[in-house]
A and B are shown apart, each in its own frame.
Chain A
Amino acid sequence: MPEFEHDQVRSRNEAFAELIPSRIWRETPSASNPYLATAAQCHGYDLMDLMQHCRFVEVFYLLFRGELPSEPQAQLLEQLMIALINPGPRHPATRAAMNAGIGKTEAAHILPIGLGVLGGAARQVEEAMRFMRRALKTPIDEQLQKLSAAVSADSPEDWLTASAFESTPGFGRHYGDCDLLTQKLATQLSQLPAAGEVLAWGESFARALQPLSAGWLPAGLAAAVFCDLGFQPRVGASLFQLLSAPGLAAQGVEMSNKPITAMPFVKDEDYVIER
């Protein structure tokens, strides 16, 4: 091995902040113990006032956007929250939470486990938000032309692998087909007063994808609503996880008082090692 002279190790002495900055939350210290808060404000509004006068969905919007939503905006977000409240017991994230539950995993870990697995779809939300904001400016035909690889798949494995279309994040196939339930949810949401140009574009694009047996994916639908409500793409993954968290927790905890035999365990004869 040749001897190599590396750089001398030394601190960069970068100027780090003295305090943690935040534009979201302000706490009023107690006069007797400055570590205790006696009041809290969210973007300038007193927490007690918010509790008395606002709905949860409004304060949720306020946290991320800095302003309270109009009634139509709150309605759109609240309906999306209901639409995505449970990925359902067949979703891998829910099944991960259920596996934690049935295995008697520490109860506090059930939700993080489900949310971690949901990260696979959640990370698509940010990409989908960026994609749709760009795509609004280009004709749908141009987007379709990029999908030729997905169309030409000729084996079931290729067809499934191409389910999440790389060039159109948020759109694709679910179990090899158009996701019918997500399409229904999108149609309902797109008829609400606060639905904007991104949801409308997504609806048009999803229709154009039908000949490919593809359409909206949940991440795309969430992304479109988040765009129309003015959320930034970088919060997309977290918002998607938050909206799906209730179902993951409920389904996971549902398993936590059942015997380990209450869920399937694949038989040895049904376990195949393919080399």
Chain B
Amino acid sequence: MLELFGQIEEAVTAIQSQWDKKPHAGIILGTGLGSLVEEIDIELSLDYGEIPNFPESTAASHRGRLVCGELAGLPVVAMEGRFHMYEGYPLKQITLPVRVFKALGAELLVVSNACGGMNPDYQAGDLMVIEDQINLMGDNPLIGINDDRLGPRFPDMCEPYDQALIERAQEVARRENIVLHKGVFVAVAGPNLETRAEYRFLRNIGADVVGMSTVPEVIVAVHCGLRVIGFSIITDMCLADALQPANVEEIIATANEAEPRLRTMVMGVLAGEK
């Protein structure tokens, strides 16, 4: 991990040479959720290729640019499109943007993703605020010699998602009449979706939803000391005994349909930061 410090500095220098504000929050927008960017008063937009050490996003419906500007009256940096383990990137590289957010001065990380719902009380199109997570990716972004300048050797994970922010999100949801579940997100590497037996297993071990992202970014956010709030859009229901073949177009359509509510949630949570 000793190479990261220099890589972060290079990326930060490239961004700061064109945008000199200190962002309050870094935002990661997942599958089908990129249009939250429309709410941002964009002051600078950089393709990932223009930022040193940023990987290129190859996933469907992920754009691949960093947007700097104002959202809900706060300076923010937002990733329109993220990187996944299944694209073949090492977790250290996937999570580099989170460290760049921190180095730019951010205090807060907002993550979003599209996921499969396993809790039978959920419905496709519902939102969930992530209460806790399970890492079943078989990897960890912090493996390697620790750089104490970036964070502790053994980060504690007893509260990876900030409880006060979760409560604020629930308040916003009640006020805006939005269905917002609170649950446990389990991350697997993918890229294949799970078998019925795997869905039963994941449900059994205590997860409410399953996805292929977010967990590495949140581990690194905890490592570098960011407060975290995470939202999942349940884009399809994965009930082992009533499983339908997944349809990527439908999943993206569900994400798009749910997105205005996600925007309301993110704007509401950020408004409480002022």
- Indicate, yes or no, whether A interacts with B: no
Taking beta carbons and an 8 Å cutoff, which residues of B are in contact with A?
none
